[in-house]
Structure 1
């Protein structure tokens, strides 16, 4: 037991002992006060600490977050059994041992059944409050943990995406300068033309590399310009064909994907005037394809592996659709998924985070409302019972508010934790999963 809990139980013992001493004790002596204090402490510590230990034990063995239904059933059974045993023991010690009001035989004859039943109900209310408090604390911990995890995922995905995009700038510049250095020796006139074209293309690289997606039309226009640049160096050794449908032009792909794949084609294949390399760019279903005849070049040094890997990773952060690679003895083909909408990694993550926060806030308000209702019930009903027994013990009217309000609290709890919310959340997940499987963005 924590020190804080011990102090709380001491204050409860003192408060109840003072109440019963001044309200129900005829002989107000020091001896009777300490007897009342001893009895109050017995009830407070045995019932309070007993229920607290049960709650702590179940929190370790069966946490609310891992098995809510199982925990609820075991909690109900355990608190019913434990409180019944503890109440019978406390009342026995009170009436038989301390007060010596009745004998053991009289106590178990049924004379004190109503008092036992009444005390058990009070104990169950206290126990329900303790278990509800434990559930609330674990829910807060779980919610905080989930929020932290989601923020870490969002930051990680954003950093990863930025890192991938930042590879494009030096990668393009490095490869272009390599081509330029080759042309300076081979053909200075072409090197000048290449330099002029490169400035135009590099402007596009700088503009588009910070975007998540671009239209196929923009990417094709850039690819054609880049192909002209390659033709400057390779002339008739490399040929290009573009067969993209007009209706696909307004759809989206990741930026600079064609440029990276064109580089791969040149880098990994031989291209000569007698054996030209043919590169075809076309749409096929929901894919933008780039295909070349296979003329594998022996690699002098190991490739950095930036091109295709970069494209695959960027697509994985934007969509569930995959990049496909086909390879045979005659050709090599890469299929890029074409998207109908233009999702944003950062925007989507922020929107998801905001929606999750709003849902969590609404959920917390619902739970807070339920626990407010439960606490009010646990405080007011015992007060009404005591008031009823003091003012008119022969007419027990407290049953009606206790029963009616109890049904309301139970219904409130079911609506907050059980039937309603679980059904809604399951249905929402089913709809979202179905939409994702059908590829609706």
Structure 2
């Protein structure tokens, strides 16, 4: 327990002393001293005892990790601990300090009501301490989760930007290699290639900052790129496009086709007698790029940027997988066609801000509930004392205690799962299940 906790207990002792001394005792130094002694004893014994129990449970059974177990142990420890602590304080008060009762009388029915009343007061105070501990733990956990999610989103965004930044030099390097070979083979074709390359590179610059593009845009770009390749390879390469029209308004990762077409050319030889045939078609929400396998010998190890780039970018955007199929006759890559734009990297920061706002709202609800609980634990004992002192035969304190208690229970149900928050959780569970079914290959 921290020093601040003991200072709080001192203030509670002083406040209790002044309250009972000013309103219920004769104004003498002896009464003030006795009241201060008893208030300090009750405050420190009950406060330190409950504090030690709470600290022990926090270490062994944290709220964030074992909520149900902790709740059960808190209830048991509150009841048993306060039963023992209250009997000890009352025994010290009536038998040892004031000496108004013997041990036999103290444990008889005569002091049963007094002990029962003090136990209930102690239980209310202890419930407040455990509730405060729960609220502090919840705030720490919520803040930690929000920070972790923001760090994940920031890291993913940086990774995605890094992957996209690979495309510019990669495309430019390979295009310049093609142009270099054309200059020697066919200078006239090299000029056409340069003009086509400028158009294609414009598309690269336009799409590099986008995470997804329509299949239609990607197909149109791929056809232009294929014309550029035909400029160099002529009849050694053939391209077949057979993409369903209904897939045109769906989405793929930008420049994925260009990287895969480039991959086909890079790893296969193509001649007029043995042309390389590349097919681009759609199949069951997948965009497929297939070529007849005519593997060439690799003079040097490939950097592996193209295919790895596509796989990593899809991994950051969706749980759907990129599939690679290889046989003796063909090589095929299948990339997912996304029906809707997912909650991608660019919107994750907004999503995390939304999560943070929800967390703040949740903490506000909990603070409201525990404020209600604290008020109940403070006001009801005061009303009980006033009632027992002014009119012990007319126990009217039951009415506010029961009425307010029912309202407090209703508030607890709303905050902890039987109100709107319960509905929200159920709606989200249904939405998550539906999303799982829609996504298919997870």
Within 5 Å, which residues of 2 pair with 1:166-177? 166-177=165-176
Partners in 2 of 1:250 and 1:304 — Cα distance? 33
After superposing the two structures, state which structure 1 stretch, 173-182 or 431-440, moved more: 431-440
Higher relative contact order (CA 8 A, sep 6+): 2
Shift of 1:193: 1.6
Alignment check: 8 A CA contact 2:317 2:345 kept: no
Aligned twin of 2:328: 329
Q: Closer, same or farther in 2 for the Cα pair 1:7/1:24, shift >3 Å?
A: same
Does structure 2 conserve the Cα–Cα contact (< 8 Å) formed by 1:212 and 1:344? no
Distance 1:228 1:361 in 2: 56
1:277–1:292 CA contact under 8 A, matched in 2: yes
Deviation at 1:189, TM superposition (A): 1.8
Q: Please say if residues 259 and 307 of structure 2, whose CA atoms lie closer than 8 Å, have aligned partners that are also in contact.
A: yes
| Corresponding position of 1:377 | 376
Matched, 1:137 2:141: no
TM-superposed CA distance for 1:52, in Å, is 1.1
Compute the TM-score of the two structures, normalised by the length of structure 2: 0.95
1:82-161 map, 5 Å = 82-161=81-160
Are 1:428 and 2:427 counterparts?
Answer: yes
Partner residue in 1 for 2:34: 35
Deviation per residue, 1:304-326 (Å, 9 max, x gap)? 11111111111111112111111
Matched residues in 1 for 2:4 and 2:245: separation?
73
2:387 aligned counterpart, secondary structure: helix
Report if aligned partners of 1:277, 1:293 keep a CA contact under 8 Å in 2.
yes
Aligned-CA RMSD value: 1.7
What is the CA deviation profile of residues 334-366 of structure 1, one whole-angstrom value per residue up to 9, with x for unaligned ones?
Answer: 111111223462443134224323322332232
Kindly provide the CA deviation profile for residues 231-284 of structure 1, in whole angstroms up to 9, marking residues without a partner as x.
111111111111112222222111111100011001111111221111111111
2:73 paired with 1:67: no
- Name stretches of at least 5 consecutive residues in structure 2 with no aligned partner: none
Q: Distance in 2 between matches of 1:410 and 1:49?
A: 28
Q: Distance in 2 between matches of 1:250 and 1:417?
A: 44
Counterpart contact for 1:241–1:281, Cα < 8 Å: yes
Structure 1 counterpart of 2:10:
10
Residue number in structure 2 paired with 1:412: 411
Q: Distance in 1 between matches of 2:406 and 2:216?
A: 64
Q: Is the 8 A contact 2:415 2:421 kept in 1?
A: no
Structure-1 separation of matches of 2:125 and 2:32: 24
Partner of 1:396: 395
Q: Once structures 1 and 2 are overlaid, which stretch shifts more, 39-48 or 62-71? A: 62-71
Equivalent pair of 1:183/1:233 in contact (CA under 8 Å): yes
Q: Secondary structure at the match of 2:291?
A: strand
**1:362 and 1:12 mapped to 2: Cα distance?**
32
Would you say the 8 A contact 2:316–2:345 is kept in 1? no
- TM-score scaled by length of structure 1: 0.96
Task: Name whichever of 408-417 and 63-72 sits farther off.
Answer: 408-417
2:328 paired with 1:341:
no
Trace 1:203-218 onto structure 2 (pairs within 5 A).
Answer: 203-218=202-217
Please show how residues 167-316 of structure 1 align to structure 2 within 5 Å.
Answer: 167-316=166-315
Distance 1:296 1:8 in 2: 79
Cα separation, 1, equivalents of 2:324 and 2:123: 65
Counterpart Cα distance in 2 of 1:3 and 1:437 = 51
1:155-213 CA-partner distances (Å, limit 9, x unpaired): 11111111111111110000001111111222222212211111111111111111111
Gaps of 5+ in 1: none
Equivalenced residues, count: 440
Contact 2:414-2:421 at 8 Å conserved across structures: no
Q: Secondary structure at the match of 1:181?
A: helix
Residue aligning to 2:19:
19
